[in-house]
């Protein structure tokens, strides 16, 4: 074959390969981040329902763009927001119940999460939050709206390629069992853990049935090391509650096993457990490694018991630089800690998303 003809063939092959790779890259791109769960994932839905659990006042949101309290329980953005940005999507995931967002805005990401919600619908009912059952119904409505806006085929493709985050369980175990004995009258602790794991599985199966495939399950953090838990620790006030940490680890083992099993049972499913416990425990034990100075108390108030409306009672007590704190209030991480958690979610997802 003449040299010129050979070079022409090689050039054609090179162009074809680039187009093929470009097409594969476009096909693997995540079109949206879709979020379910509790206050760790609520980007403002509770602003639009009748509940006391809202974060739409100072000092929440003080480091958000423009210093706006959006309803996020942090000084700025949440993990889901940083995941969205890392995947080339908008830097903030909008709340589904916000009437100011059109379906075109929600097409690149949406949060159905509600502060106070849990895997157990009774948890949400206690706090007048949106139950996970309702969140799944909202997702179904969202899919229908997306179909009307872009066509059913395009909507189904986007739903299948999106990344789903389910962040829940802490409100159930703390607010519905360990601190307040509501479910303690009906379940032993192992029974309740199994019940919650089953509820998480039901959520994954439900959204899978609606087209979701890529699901990420951040496990519970060390619940006993939350500043509030340190403050009310009856055995050793000020120290982590080791029993509550054991409960979180036990539930996480169930969650991890469930994710592994669903990957085998559901065709095309990519359900991945993310070990948030280990990461947050390390941030608490060795804050200096991550650039923090305080991992014992939150930024707002005394840092030991304040969360929600209690954080707004005396802004003078709020710390100057929340980036130095692992926690912003007595329960929720600071924006900087959420960014580190988001990096772990993205890193865990990267082998299958790229």
End-to-end Cα, the chain, rounded Å: 38
Yes or no: say if 37 and 122 are a contact pair by the CB < 8 Å rule.
Answer: no
Yes or no: say if 211 and 143 are a contact pair by the CB < 8 Å rule.
Answer: yes
> How far apart (Å, rounded) are the C-alpha atoms in residues 319 and 298?
9
Token pair, residue 136, equals 């799944």
DSSP assignment string, 249-315: HHHHHHHHHHHHHHHHHSTT-EEEEE-HHHHHHHHHH-GGGGT-SB-SS-SSTTSSS--GGGGGS-G
Yes or no: say if 90 and 109 are a contact pair by the CB < 8 Å rule.
Answer: yes
Alpha carbon separation from 212 to 131, 152, 184 (Å, rounded): 19, 15, 33
**6: number of CA atoms within 13 Å, CB side?**
3
User: Which phi and psi angles does 327 have, rounded to 5°?
Assistant: -115, 145
Kindly give the interhelix angle for 79-86 and 335-353, rounded to the nearest 10 degrees. Answer: 40
Q: Which helix (H) or strand (E) holds 107?
A: none
Q: 181: which DSSP letter?
A: -
> How far apart (Å, rounded) are the C-alpha atoms in residues 81 and 94?
9
The active-site residue, picked from 81, 120, 332, 334, is: 332
Q: 112: which DSSP letter?
A: -
Active site residue 332: yes
Yes or no: say if 244 and 229 are a contact pair by the CB < 8 Å rule.
Answer: yes
The active-site residue, picked from 42, 108, 329, 334, is: 329
The active-site residue, picked from 38, 39, 63, 323, is: 39
Active site residue 39: yes
Active site residue 329: yes
Positions annotated as catalytic residues are 39, 329, 332
């Amino acid at each position: 074959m003449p040299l010129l003809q050979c070079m022409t063939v090689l050039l054609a092959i090179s162009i074809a390969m680039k187009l093929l790779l470009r097409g594969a890259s476009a096909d693997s791109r995540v079109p949206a981040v879709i979020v379910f769960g509790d206050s760790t994932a609520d980007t403002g839905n509770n602003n639009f329902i009748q509940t006391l659990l809202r974060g739409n006042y100072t000092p929440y949101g003080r480091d958000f763009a423009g210093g706006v309290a959006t309803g996020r329980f942090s000084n700025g953005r949440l993990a889901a927001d940083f995941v969205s940005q890392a995947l080339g999507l908008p830097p903030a995931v909008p709340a589904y119940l916000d009437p100011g967002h059109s379906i075109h805005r929600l097409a690149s990401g949406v949060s159905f999460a509600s502060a106070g919600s849990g895997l157990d619908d009774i948890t949400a009912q206690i706090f007048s939050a949106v139950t996970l059952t309702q969140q799944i119904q909202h997702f179904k409505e969202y899919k229908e709206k997306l179909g009307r806006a872009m066509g059913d085929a395009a909507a189904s493709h986007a739903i299948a390629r999106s990344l789903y985050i389910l962040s829940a369980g802490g409100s159930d175990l703390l607010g519905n069992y360990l601190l307040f004995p509501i479910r303690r009258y009906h379940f032993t602790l192992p029974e309740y853990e199994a019940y919650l794991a089953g509820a998480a599985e039901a959520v994954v199966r439900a959204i899978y049935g609606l087209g979701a495939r890529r699901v990420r399950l951040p496990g519970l953090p060390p619940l006993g090391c939350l500043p509030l838990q340190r403050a009310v620790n009856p055995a050793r006030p000020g120290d982590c509650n080791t029993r509550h940490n054991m409960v979180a680890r036990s539930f996480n083992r169930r969650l991890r096993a469930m994710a592994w099993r669903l990957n085998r049972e559901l065709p095309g499913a990519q359900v991945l457990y993310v070990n948030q416990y280990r990461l947050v425990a390390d941030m608490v034990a060795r804050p200096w490694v991550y650039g923090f100075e305080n991992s014992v108390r939150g930024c707002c108030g005394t840092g030991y018991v304040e969360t929600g409306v209690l954080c707004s009672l005396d802004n003078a007590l709020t710390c100057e630089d929340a980036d130095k704190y692992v926690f912003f209030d007595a329960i929720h991480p600071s924006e900087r800690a959420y960014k580190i958690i988001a990096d772990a979610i993205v890193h865990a997802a990267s082998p299958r998303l790229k």
